[in-house]
Amino acid sequence: MKSSKLIPVLVSVNLVLAGVAVWQRLGKSSGEATEAPSGTTSRETADEASVSSSGATGSQVVEKAGFSYRDLLSTDLRKYIERLRAVECPEPTVRDIILAEVDRRFAAREAALALHRHQQNPWDPAPPNGGRSWAKWNQLRELRTEKQALVKELLGIDIPLGLPNWTNDRDGNFEAAMALIPEAKRQAARELLEKYRDRRRELQEKTFGYLLPEDAEEYLKNTRERRQELEKLLGKETLEDFEIAASQTGIALREKLAGFDLTDAERRAIFRARLEVDELQVPGTVVGRSPEAAEETERLQAAAEQRTQQQVADVRAAMTPERQAEFDRVQDPAYRNLLQQVNRTGLPRETALQLYDFSRGLRNELNTLLTQPGTDPAQRQALIQQFRADSEQRLKQMIGEDAFRQLGAGGRIPGLPNFQPEQLLNRYGIPPRP
């Protein structure tokens, strides 16, 4: 390249380099003059300083020449809210912005507890006890409570704690039940429930399922005090509504009587009776009780169980004969299984009743067949095979070919006994053929 052409290029390069040097120097001196406080960036501080130096308040921000969203930023969340509202930012948006900022500020402290697998290093071993460290649980709850209080102070709203789902609430029963509590009392109820749940978990962790007499008494006392405080806050009826929906007693009652349409009065009466028994139980084995204390505990539990049975019998006695029969059926696991299978195939509910009655009749016939005298094992095996073929044919005629095919899609026809000859022979104590 000729020197006449090279000189302008070199001059241009030098000018660019000089400009970069000046820019870096100015940037450094500016950064030193506005050093950011801990937890903020220098840009955030500079942005806030540019507003504060001009004496601008929230209402004056919008009048500032060359307005930018950065003019609204503040490390002080109260100022941040004031400025957002001053520019007529919609209130739902103000809430979203502040909630996101609060979450960001707490995220590192929560992640440090490493309660979730995604917060741990890939090479770390799986935490013991499924990661359910009660000490860390309490730390997390304290953090969430602090966050909750901050949001309440800033925005005047309550947010749920959002703790890990260690309540076995896979179907959302607990949160659905919380909606039954009046909103004004919901947060206080949640705090009470968490307090007593934490006490219960601490006791379970301490005892490993083997409770001393004083541990058992502490557990039962915790149960009594929980009920007293919740009744005082909610009233008996609201508390009962909540427990029918969320407690283990209520869940077990729904599962046991699934498919039976209880009236509200029937449901409450059976629930109260069952709850009395359940609240006398402790989570584990009590060791070290004196014979007298053990006998008294058994007496109390037996008396409660007897009252429960009598209450259920009274509820049943008030039903029509048809409802009594259905009430008895739904408590049989075999019938509930049939009902589930029929519901999955979309067949009418009456099909389950047909299968149930048919199955009970078959079992009686099979019992007679297998226990009749004068039949050797080889003859019995042949009779079983023939009995199976006849039973399947009768079932097809009763419910129809299509229903029979749908129910048998899983490989075994519900309502038919297990016709494996060897198993049946063993069940009835009949020796196999040589």
Q: Which of 7-21, 115-129, 145-159, 374-388 has the lowest mean pLDDT?
A: 7-21
Single-letter residue type at 39: G
Is residue 398 located within the same domain as residue 348?
A: yes
Is pLDDT at 98 greater than 70 in this prediction?
yes
Is residue 152 located within the same domain as residue 278?
A: no
Is residue 170 located within the same domain as residue 319?
A: yes
Single-letter residue type at 279: E
Please indicate, yes or no, if residue 246 is contained in any of the structural domains. Answer: yes
Please indicate, yes or no, if residue 3 is contained in any of the structural domains. Answer: no
Q: What whole-number distance in Å separates Cα of residue 114 and Cα of residue 131? A: 9
| Span 368-385, average pLDDT | 75
Is residue 215 located within the same domain as residue 309?
A: yes
Tokens representing 345 are: 């195939």
Single-letter residue type at 135: A
Phi, psi of 350 (to 5 degrees): -60, -25
Is residue 269 located within the same domain as residue 405?
A: no
Is residue 211 located within the same domain as residue 315?
A: yes
Contact 417, 338 (CB under 8 A): no
Name every residue whose Cβ is closer than 8 Å to that of residue 248 and which is 6 or more positions away in sequence. 278
Q: How confident is the model at residue 225 (pLDDT cuts 50, 70, 90)?
A: very high
Q: What is the per-residue pLDDT for 45? A: 44
Is residue 137 located within the same domain as residue 275?
A: no
Domain-ending residue, one of 301, 331, 361: 331
Is residue 177 located within the same domain as residue 300?
A: yes
Q: What is the per-residue pLDDT for 279? A: 92
Q: What whole-number distance in Å separates Cα of residue 111 and Cα of residue 118? A: 9
Q: What whole-number distance in Å separates Cα of residue 122 and Cα of residue 125? A: 8
- Counted residue by residue, the chain has a size of 434
Q: Which of 2-6, 86-90, 109-113 has the lowest mean pLDDT?
A: 2-6
Per the listing, tokens 């014979």 go with: 291
| Span 66-92, average pLDDT | 86
Phi, psi of 410 (to 5 degrees): -85, 0
Average pLDDT, whole number, for the chain? 76
Domain-ending residue, one of 289, 304, 331: 331
pLDDT tens-digit map of 313-368: 999 999 999 999 989 988 888 788 888 778 877 778 888 888 888 887 877 787 77
Q: What is the per-residue pLDDT for 271? A: 95
Q: Single out the residue of 244, 202, 200 nearest to residue 223, CA to CA.
A: 200
Give the bridge partners for 210, in sequence order: 285
Single-letter residue type at 50: S
Q: What whole-number distance in Å separates Cα of residue 26 and Cα of residue 30? A: 6
Q: Which domain holds residue 116?
A: 90-121+133-159
| Span 149-161, average pLDDT | 82
Q: What whole-number distance in Å separates Cα of residue 86 and Cα of residue 406? A: 66
Is residue 183 located within the same domain as residue 318?
A: yes
Q: How many domains does the chain have?
A: 3
Please indicate, yes or no, if residue 291 is contained in any of the structural domains. Answer: yes
Please indicate, yes or no, if residue 63 is contained in any of the structural domains. Answer: no
Give the bridge partners for 39, in sequence order: none
Q: What whole-number distance in Å separates Cα of residue 99 and Cα of residue 407? A: 52
Q: Is 156 exposed, middle or buried (0-12, 13-18, 19+ CB in 10 A)?
A: exposed
Give the bridge partners for 286, in sequence order: 211
Tokens representing 384 are: 């079983």
Is residue 94 located within the same domain as residue 209?
A: no
Dump the DSSP string for 141-163. Answer: HHHHHHHHHHHHHHHS-------
pLDDT tens-digit map of 22-43: 344 434 444 443 333 333 444 4
Between 10 and 97, the more confident residue is: 97
Strands (E), 89-221: 210-211
Q: What is the per-residue pLDDT for 54? A: 40
pLDDT tens-digit map of 43-53: 444 444 444 44
Is residue 224 located within the same domain as residue 310?
A: yes
Give the side-chain half-sphere CA count within 13 A for 73.
Answer: 15
Q: What is the per-residue pLDDT for 306? A: 94
Is residue 294 located within the same domain as residue 339?
A: no
Helix (H, G, I), strand (E, B) or coil at 56: coil
Q: What is the per-residue pLDDT for 302? A: 93
Dihedral angle of Cα 30, 35, 40, 46, to the nearest 10 degrees? -40
Give the side-chain half-sphere CA count within 13 A for 34.
Answer: 18
